[in-house]
Amino acid sequence: MTLSTLLLFLGASMALTIVPGPDNILVVTQGVARGRRAAVVTAWGMCSGITVHTLAAAAGISALFYSSAVAFRVVKYAGALYLLYLAWKMLRERDALTISVTGAGFAPSLSALYRRGFIMNVLNPKVALFFLAFLPQFTVREAGNVPLQMALLGFVFMAQALVIFTLIGLFSGTVGVWLRQRPGAGCYLTRLAGGIFALLGLRLALMER
C-alpha cells in the first residue's frame, strides 16, 4: 500500500465522517443534553464499534449481511429496538434530571454511555455493509494479504473518526452548557434528545439494504 493511497483513503474517510449522519447526530445530542464528557465518551464508544465492523469486513463476515436478508433484518431490528429503548429511558429521566452548567446530575455513568455508543454502532448493519464496500476499494491485490490491508484501513478510519467525533462532542457540549444556563432548558433538551433517539430508531427499522 503506497503513501498516496493511504492519504487518499484518509481524505475520503474524513469527508465521509464530517458529512452529517446518524452518528454525528447522536454525538451532538449527547453533548447538548448531557455535556462535553458524555458526548466524548459516547463518541469513543461508537468509534470502538468500528473495530468490530473492520474485523468483520476483513474476515468476510460482513458479506453475510449483503447475502442474507434475514441476518440483515435481525441486526437492523435489534438496533432499532435498542435506540427506542434509549429514547424511552431518556424520556423517563426528564422529570428526575437535574442538569448543572457542567452537565452533572442524574445521568448514566460514563461506562454506560460508552456501552451505548459501542452497541449502537455494532447493531447498525448499514455500517457493516459500508465497510464491506468501502475498504476493498483502497486495497492493492498485488501487495498481498488483502484482509490485513483492510484491517489497517479500518483502524485508520477509526482513528480519524475518533478525532473528529471528539471535536464535535466538545463543541456540542459547549453549546449545551450555554443552553442549560437558561431556566427549564434541561427538561426540554432531554425531551429533544429522547425524540431524536426515537426517530433514529424508527429510521433504522424502516431502512432497507
Per-position DSSP letters for the chain, written without gaps between them: --HHHHHHHHHHHHHHHHS--HHHHHHHHHHHHH-HHHHHHHHHHHHHHHHHHHHHHHHTTTHHHHH-HHHHHHHHHHHHHHHHHHHHHHHHHTTT----TTS-SS---HHHHHHHHHHHHHT-HHHHHHHHHHGGGG--GGG--HHHHHHHHHHHHHHHHHHHHHHHHHHHHHHHHHHHTSTTHHHHHHHHHHHHHHHHHHHHHH---
Contact 34, 175 (CB under 8 A): no
Residue 167 to residue 71: CA distance in whole angstroms: 34
Q: How many CA atoms lie within 13 A of 100 on its CB side?
A: 4
One digit per residue, the tens of pLDDT, for the chain of length 209 reads 678 888 899 999 998 888 877 788 888 888 888 888 999 999 999 999 999 989 888 887 777 766 777 777 887 788 788 778 877 877 776 544 444 444 444 457 888 899 989 998 888 887 888 888 888 888 877 777 888 888 999 999 999 999 999 999 999 988 877 776 665 555 666 677 677 777 777 876 777 75
Q: Where are the domains of the chain?
A: 35-206
CA-to-CA distance for 30 and 10, rounded, in angstroms?
A: 26
Q: What pLDDT was estimated at residue 100?
A: 40
